[in-house]
Amino acid sequence: MKFILSLSSFALTMILGLIAFTYTAINFPSTMRDLLAGAQHVRDQVQQLALPDSYMVWVDIFLQPNQIVLVGFSIAMRVVIGIVGSIFGRGRATSSGPAPTAAGDSPFGRWG
């Protein structure tokens, strides 16, 4: 059950990140251009490190400005989902859950 919940949380994060990315690109194109310019600056700084070609090929593949911005939106959505989940979902679940009754229930009970 925990795996399915984690998987659905990841899928929701990716979908909301794509929606936020698209919404920003459509409704705030100047902001999106600024974000892409900042991501391009990050990529340029990494390229100036004079890394060997075996590393630079991965920089060329994975550090595209639009991918960096999309990852940023995904991280922001993950933070939002975590905050909302901690406010609404986890407060009730932890208060109604059983508390450990003895030191034997703890994984650290044998530590002395």
pLDDT tens string 50-71: 889 999 999 889 889 999 999 9
Residue 106: band (very low, low, confident or very high) from pLDDT cuts 50, 70, 90: confident
pLDDT tens, position by position, 28-47 = 999 999 999 999 999 999 98
CA dist., res. 25 & res. 67, Å (int) = 14
Domain boundaries, the chain: 7-88
CA dist., res. 88 & res. 82, Å (int) = 10
pLDDT of residue 100: 55
CA separation, residue 83 to residues 5, 29, 42, 57, 80 (Å): 16, 28, 28, 37, 5
